[in-house]
Amino acid sequence: MRKKRENLSQRRRRVREIILNLSHLYPQISCGLIYGNPVELLIAVILSAQCTDARVNQVTPVLFKRFPDLEAFASADRVELEEAIHSTGFFRHKAKNIQLCCQQLLRDHGGRIPKSLAELVKLPGIGRKTANVVLGEIYGLQGVVVDTHVKRISRLLALTKSEDPVRIEQDLMKVVPPMAWNLFSHLLIYHGRNLCPARRPWCERCLLYRLCPGAVV
């Protein structure tokens, strides 16, 4: 347990060590969602809300075959779309957002995915987390993605005290090197799925044990 209060410089150095250790543990990381083009990624990320990537990846091959582009989603029969995504949960809300999002992209953006966070979050079903995933994957832009794993582990690591995703994102942006924002998010997500699950973190096996104030044995 770290007892001494860290200043900003010390916290940044610790974060760099965290990144090095996790990069060694997870040398090959990528987005957990399977997609073939930007539109498919956007739809998959909307579906991933309150749902695992594995479940979304089971649904999307059939979904994208039935609705192959923005126009198909925009003009889809809502009931048919709901049935196709039923197993991802909150299917009525997601179907509505997907259809409205695609309609708005066609109407206001010429069918292209906006390249700015400000424009993306105006789309139905797109929050800051979703927007940062899309911007990072499609355009290679750096952003901190705060999902449930990032939220929980960043608190265990004492990199934030907040429960609010926007505040957590801001706190992490202060201590994580800007060119590593995407990487850091992916690393915490992988770590949350493998060694640091919410129910039982494997602290005794973790490379971050000495760097994590929340570690327990």
From 147, 151, 171, 174, the catalytic residue: 147
Could you confirm whether 147 is annotated as catalytic?
A: yes
Calpha distance 57→97 (Å, rounded): 19
Q: How far apart are CA 99 and CA 188, in angstroms?
A: 31
Q: Residue 45: CB partners within 8 Å, gap ≥ 6?
A: 33, 130, 133, 134
Q: Choose among 147, 146, 141, 145: nearest CA to 116.
A: 141
The type of residue at 70 is: L
Tokens of 163: 């429960």
| Selected catalytic residue, list 77, 122, 129, 174 | 129
State the DSSP code for 110. T
Token pair, residue 14, equals 């610790």
Q: To 5 degrees, how large is the angle CA 104–CA 110–CA 114? A: 70
- For the annotated catalytic residues, the residue numbers are 129, 147
